[in-house]
Amino acid sequence: MPRPNLISQIHELKYELRRSRLKVSEIPRLQADFDDLVQQACEEYHCSKAELLKAIAPDFGKWVKDERLPVIEKDL
């Protein structure tokens, strides 16, 4: 199944937010960017934020595999 670029970008920001080595000072900017992209997707697909987030949540794990990214850093 095709994945729109906008959804990939949302996944990418979510992945950034999940990095365990993420500095706390980076979180507000990443969170704001994430919300901006989600808002953009909501307008494109005419849905609420909760609906959009729930619709794409199961695709996040597939995206991580597609991008061959580590599931999570092992520095915890």
Partner 1 sequence: MITDVAMDKPSSNHWEFVQNLLHDLQAEEDREQIAYLFGQWRLSIKAFRRVEAHRMNLTPPTELDVLFHRACVTDLISFGTLIEIAARGHDPAELSNHGVKLEFVIAIIQDLQNTLDEWHAQVSSAKLEGLRDRIFNATPELNLTNTRA
Chain residues binding partner 1 by CB under 8 A are: 1-8, 17-18, 20, 24-25, 27-28, 31-32, 34-35, 38, 45, 47, 49-64, 66-67, 71-72, 76
Q: How far is the CB of 2 from partner 1 (least distance, A)?
A: 4
- Closest separation between CB of residue 43 and partner 1, Å? 13
* Contact indicator for 29, 13 with CB cutoff of 8 Å: no
DSSP per-residue letters across 19-58: -TT--GGGHHHHHHHHHHHHHHHHHHHT--HHHHHHHHHH
Residue 73, C-beta contacts closer than 8 angstroms, at least 6 positions apart = 19, 20, 21
Query: Which of residues 4 and 43 has its CB atom nearest to partner 1 in the complex?
Result: 4
We find the least distance from the C-beta atom of residue 36 to partner 1, in angstroms, to be 12
